Structure 1
Amino acid sequence: MDPFEKRSIYWVMAILVLVIAPFIVLMTPAVLSVVVFEDPNKIAFISFGKNLIMYLLAFFIAFISLLILYFVKKLMTKLFVLILSILGFLIIYITGLNHYVYLDENYIEYNPLFGSEVIYQWSDLSSVRHIHPDGEKVEYESYIFTFTDGYSFNFKATGAVDSTVKSKIYEKLQLYKVPFEIY
Structure 2
Amino acid sequence: MVNYEKKHLYMMGAIAVLILAPFYILVGPFIFQGIMFDDVSVWLLQTPMTAYGMYGISALMLALGLGFSSFFVKRAVFLTGLGLVLAGVLFVMGTFSYKSLSTEEIAWGEPFSFKTNSYSWEDVKEVILVSPPTEEEKHKMVFYFNDGKEVTFVRNNEFQAEFSNFNTAKRQYKFPFKASE
SS at match of 1:169: helix
CA-based RMSD of the aligned residues comes to 1.9
CA distance in 1, matches of 2:157, 2:44: 10
Paired letter, 1:9: L
Q: Does residue 153 of structure 1 match 2:147?
A: no
Give 1:136 deviation, angstroms.
1.2
In the comparison of the two structures, how many residue pairs are matched?
178
Q: Does residue 166 of structure 1 match 2:125?
A: no
Q: Does residue 180 of structure 1 match 2:177?
A: yes
Give 1:159 deviation, angstroms.
5.8
CA distance in 1, matches of 2:19, 2:158: 26
Paired letter, 1:131: V
Gap runs ≥5 in structure 1: none
Give 1:80 deviation, angstroms.
1.7
Give 1:95 deviation, angstroms.
0.4
CA distance in 2, matches of 1:26, 1:148: 35
**TM-score (normalizing by structure 1):** 0.88
Paired letter, 1:148: N
CA distance in 2, matches of 1:16, 1:32: 21
In the other structure, the counterpart of 1:127 is 126
In the other structure, the counterpart of 1:6 is 6
In the other structure, the counterpart of 1:32 is 32
CA distance in 2, matches of 1:133, 1:95: 28
SS at match of 1:69: helix
Give 1:142 deviation, angstroms.
1.0
Gap runs ≥5 in structure 2: none
SS at match of 1:83: helix
For residues 76-87 of structure 1, the aligned pairs below 5 Å read 77-87=75-85
Q: Identity of aligned pairs, percent? A: 24
**TM-score (normalizing by structure 2):** 0.89
SS at match of 2:22: helix
